[in-house]
Every structure is written in C-alpha cells, then in structure tokens.
Amino acid sequence: MDYSTNDSKSTSKKKVVAVVGGGLVGNLNACYFAKRGFQVEVFESREDIRQAKIVKGRSINLVLSHRGRQALKHVGMEDTIISKGIPMHSRMIHALNGTQSPIPYGKKGQYILSIDRANLNKELLSGRRMKFLIPMSPGEHAHHEYHLSEEIQADLIVGCDGAFSAIRKQFLRQSRFNYSQTYIPHGYLEFTIPPINGEFAMKPNNLHIWPRNTFMMIALPNLDKTFTCTLFMPFEEFEKVTTGDKVIEFFQKYFPDAIPLIGAEALKRDFFRLPAQAMVSVKCSPYHFGDKCVLMGDAAHAMVPFYGQGMNAGFEDCLVFNEIMDQLNEDFSAVLPEYTRVRVPDDQAIADLAMYNYVEMREHVNSKWFLFRKNVDNFLHIIMPRTIIPLYTMVTFTRTRYHKVVKHWHWQDKVRKDIVHVHSTLFKGL
C-alpha cells in the first residue's frame, strides 16, 4: 500500500521508504515516514484487515502504556486510540478460595489501557491513501497479481515483519550479526467471559490475575463487555488435560470461580479448539545493514507478553528512530548505526524483564513478602519521588530507557534491603 501526505517538506523528488510488514509497528512507521514527507510503500502478504471477515493472527489483548501513547501522540492518534481502550488501574488477584484483592499499578490516576489488536491496526491504517501490494495466490486472475520479482527501488527498507521476519533472515547471511531465539516451556490458550445481563461479569477496570505459582490465568476487558481470558501454563500440563471432563476437573481445582463466568460447555469446547500456542523471545544485533535496511518491532526484539511492553517497545522504536532522524538530519548513513547503538541495549533489557515478570505475576503476587516490598517501594517513592521509583512505574509510566531502568532497579533493591536490614536489627534490639 502507499502512504502519502500533502505536507511534503520539499518539492524535490521524495525518498522512497519500503516498510515490510503491515502490522502495528509497520503501519505506525508508515505514518511517521509519511509525516516527514517520504514516499512510503507497505508490503503485506495478508489481505487488508479492514475488509477481512476474519482477522488472522494472534489475539492476545494488547496493553497500551506511556511509551506507546507518546509514540501515537506524535502522529496525532493518541486520543483516538485511548477513546477505544478500557483503563485498568490495578491488578485484581483472584485467590483459590475466590476472594479478590487489588494491587494498584501506580499512583492514583495512573492506569494502563486494554486495547483490541485488530481495532488498533485498523485505526493505524485509516486516514491516508493506501494500496496493498500482496503476493499473487495460485489461480487468481492476472489483473489481481503482484509480481514480487519486480524490482522495487527504495532508499530505505524497514523490516517490521514480526518474530519470524523474512528481512531479518537476510541479515543472518552477514558476518558479525548476532541472533538468538528462545521458546519458553509455557504455552497459552484463550477463553471468553461473556457479559451478564449486558454488563461486565467482573470489575472492568482491572487486569484480573489468577496466580497459581507455576502457571496463571489473566483476563482483560473488551469494549463489547466481554473479557478475554488467557491461560499460561507449561505445555506438559496442557498435555495432561485430554478430555472435557478433565478440563472441568482442572478448573475446579485451580480456577473454580472462573467456571460459571466462562461456562462449563464453553470451557470444554474452547480448550480443544486450538492447541496451546508457543511464545518466543528473539534478540539480535545490529538492527541495521549499512544505510539501506533497519529492523523494528518483533523483527528486532520479539518478547514474551508478561510485561505488556511488546507493542509499546515497538511503538517506541518508531519514536526513537524519528528522534534520531531529527538529530542527524535524515542522513541514513548516520541514523541507522546510531539507532542500533541506542536501541539494542534497551530492547534486550525489556525482553529480560518480560521473562522476569512472568514469575512475579504467576507466583510472587501470592507472597506476603512481595506485598510488603511493594508497600516499602511505594512509601519510599512518596518521600523520595526522584530517587526511589518502583520498577513497574519506571517501565510503564515513564520513558526512562529500559536498560537504565534495570540498573536503577538493582540499585534500589540494594537500598531497600539495607533499609529492611537496619529496621530488623533495631526491632531485635528492643
């Protein structure tokens, strides 16, 4: 598809940017480059989701926070997207006995947003003239075909084609390109909690979590008053549940309050509708090749979904690249290596934090020590707001660089332990 604007910065021939991948990061990137006056073409193998009857792909709900909002704000889309999201002010912890306890995300007024993936992508596709460039399927009429062998001249290729990026695959041919992918031993399945009498079946302004130490279930609210539930669990545990009766037995043991919400028959049906899906973490470096090609989003740094930062980090890629373009006057030969230098340590840091947060969500939130530590962090943040900042606050409600977040977190952890040690010593002496 073509992205074009009428606010071109120059009457001279525009530079051409080819964005490969018409997902969230690819489409936001197209908006950024179009705003700068570039001629932008987006290449996507799937059909236009605005016309598709069924939108294929992952359906895990998205969480939009400060970094993603700032990236959307720059292209004038923040308010539109926020109006179609549902604020979540806290985690709502579901104990095994059915009691519910909220853990606020940040200070009063701070929240994250539950966003529908397909709706967000449709919004990013709207507002500009577009033409999809799609590979020809066998049997299609000639006037529908698009010959991928046709040579496309572009000044810059931007790879936004996901965790299994075809663009990144070409980087593997180059010397000194580092790449790793790690599948975690856990998969996920999705269920739906329907409305009750036309209203949400649970409190909607929370991210609901059923932490069960080695696995967990979460639920995020949708605009249609449903909740999307996602069960994260080791594949070997999924494989033990082989019949509908065992599904109900499993839920009665670990998530008894969810059975009437989802419905016993829906549980038995949806548990086997699809196999449990895998989750992969991808790291690579550098993100660029010469002055002609750069990777962003999952193509550069796919991560597991447990910090809600995959989309936000991808959107921030676009914003950071745009900021570097301003600093270096759109000189690709300088911009691309600087983007790699700045962004690689940050994206790899948040990928590691995403792994860590799974343990926190499924296990630590059950711990009295975790709640005590969180209260200590919040108290210290009140009296020293610029010195002590909770980890989640730094990640979710600021644009502090991710790798600096990790360094500050480790320093704070030492300070907290020293404070707790001093207080423990004092109390023992009384």
| Angle (deg, nearest 10), helices 402-429 and 368-383 | 100
Residue 425 falls within a domain, yes or no?
yes
Shared domain check, 136 and 32: yes
Is residue 216 located within the same domain as residue 321?
Answer: no
Whether residues 335 and 387 share a domain: the answer is no
The widest CA-to-CA distance across the chain, in whole angstroms, is 88
> Is 374 buried (19+), middle (13-18) or exposed (0-12) by CB count in 10 A?
middle
Domain span at residue 255 reads 183-277
Say whether both 294 and 235 belong to one domain.
Answer: no
Domain final residue, candidates 360, 385, 418: 360
Beta strands (DSSP E) in 169-215 are 178-193, 206-211
CATH of the domain at 21: 3.50.50.60
Looking at residue 414, what is its pLDDT?
Answer: 83
Q: What angle do CA 144, 148, 153 make, to 5 degrees?
A: 115
Give CA–CA dist 44/254, Å, rounded. Answer: 42
Within-domain flag for 379: yes
Predicted local confidence at residue 55, as pLDDT: 45
Angle between helices 117-125 and 24-35 (to 10 degrees): 20
Do 178 and 51 lie in one domain? The reply is: yes
Is the pTM of the predicted complex or chain greater than 0.85?
yes
- Give the C-alpha separation, 209 to 231, whole Å: 10
- Nearest-angstrom CA–CA distance, 107 and 397: 10
User: The tokens of 313 are what?
Assistant: 């980090």
Could you say which DSSP state residue 174 is in? S
Specify whether 290 is located in the same domain as 167.
yes
Residues 6+ apart with CB under 8 A from 303: 281, 282, 309, 310, 313, 350, 351, 354
Would 174 be classed as within a structural domain? yes
173 and 46 in a common domain = yes
**Six-digit token string for 409:** 């977190």
Domain boundary (251, 277, 303) is at 277
Q: Are residues 319 and 356 in the same domain?
A: yes
Cα 252 to Cα 134, 196, 203, 257: the distances in Å are 47, 21, 22, 8
The answer to whether residues 30 and 150 belong to one domain is yes
Please check whether residue 90 lies inside any domain of the structure: no
Bridge-based pairing state of the strands 2-3 and 39-43: antiparallel
Q: Which of 360, 380, 410 is the last residue of a domain?
A: 360
Give the residue from 189, 200, 184, 183 showing the smallest Cα distance to 255.
189
pLDDT tens-digit profile, the chain (430 residues)? 555 554 444 445 789 999 999 999 999 999 999 999 999 999 987 765 555 554 444 556 899 999 999 999 999 999 999 999 999 999 999 999 999 999 898 888 899 999 998 889 888 887 554 444 544 444 444 334 444 445 678 999 999 999 999 999 999 999 999 999 999 999 999 999 999 999 999 999 999 999 998 899 999 999 999 999 999 999 999 999 999 999 999 999 999 999 999 999 999 999 999 999 999 999 999 999 999 999 999 999 999 999 999 999 999 999 999 999 999 999 999 999 999 999 999 999 999 999 888 877 776 666 676 667 777 777 777 777 778 888 899 999 999 999 999 999 889 888 777 766 665 565 555 5
Same domain for 218 and 334? no
pLDDT tens digits, one per residue of 318-372? 999 999 999 999 999 999 999 999 999 999 999 999 988 887 777 666 667 666 7
In a shared domain, residues 162 and 199: no
pLDDT for residue 331:
97
What are all long-range contacts of 398-403, with beta carbons under 8 Å and residues at least 24 apart? Answer: 398/66, 399/66, 399/67, 399/70, 399/316, 401/345, 401/346, 402/313, 402/345, 402/346, 402/347, 402/349, 402/350, 402/353, 403/345, 403/346, 403/348, 403/349
Q: Does 101 map to a domain? A: no
How far CA 284 is from CA of 12, 43, 297, in Å, comes to 36, 23, 12
Q: Could you give the number of structural domains in the chain? A: 3
CA separation for the pair 399, 66 (Å, rounded): 7
Whole-number Å distance between alpha carbons of 174 and 189: 37
Query: Does 260 reside within a domain?
Result: yes
- Asked whether residue 8 falls in the same domain as residue 32, the answer is yes
